[in-house]
Amino acid sequence: MGLSDLKKKSPQTDVANTPITLDEFINDAELYALGHSRQIVLPGTPRQNDNQPGSATSEQETNNDLKAVFKKATYSMSLECIDHLKLIAENDGMNRSQLLRLFTHYFYQLPPEERDLIYERFSHLFDNNKK
């Protein structure tokens, strides 16, 4: 018997190889931080909401096809801004990454005139406009 025979061997499962979205990872991390266990759904097993009316498998397949690809990004924010974002996330039940994507998407869709008004109103928050 060699040392390699003493290694703990774990059963091979597809859970580690199953890709998850960024939102699922963040939600799992938030659940872990709150002391809850991770909700793992193996491929081919029914989810809790699969038996509800209106949740067809073709609808789920379409949603899986439309999932966005996310890239990790780092941005500088003031402590006040971070606190505000955290409070909004807690009050609305969303994670901060989702909120930032929502805010960016909303702001992107505004006409240039409305964006300019927002820039003027909050110009005091920009680092490059300090007097």
Give the pLDDT confidence of 66-119 residue by residue, as tens digits. 666 788 888 898 899 999 999 999 999 999 999 999 999 999 999 999 999 999
**Looking at per-residue confidence, does 14 or 92 come out higher?**
92
95 contacts 23 by C-beta, under 8 angstroms: yes
Give DSSP secondary structure letters for 56-90: -HHHHHHHHHTPPP---------HHHHHHHHHHHH
pLDDT at 102: 93
The percent of residues in the chain predicted with pLDDT above 90, rounded, is: 33
* Confidence band, pLDDT 50/70/90 cuts, at residue 131: very low
Name the more confident of 96 and 63: 96
The end-to-end CA distance of the chain, in Å, is 75
* Tokens representing residue 119 in the block: 């820039």
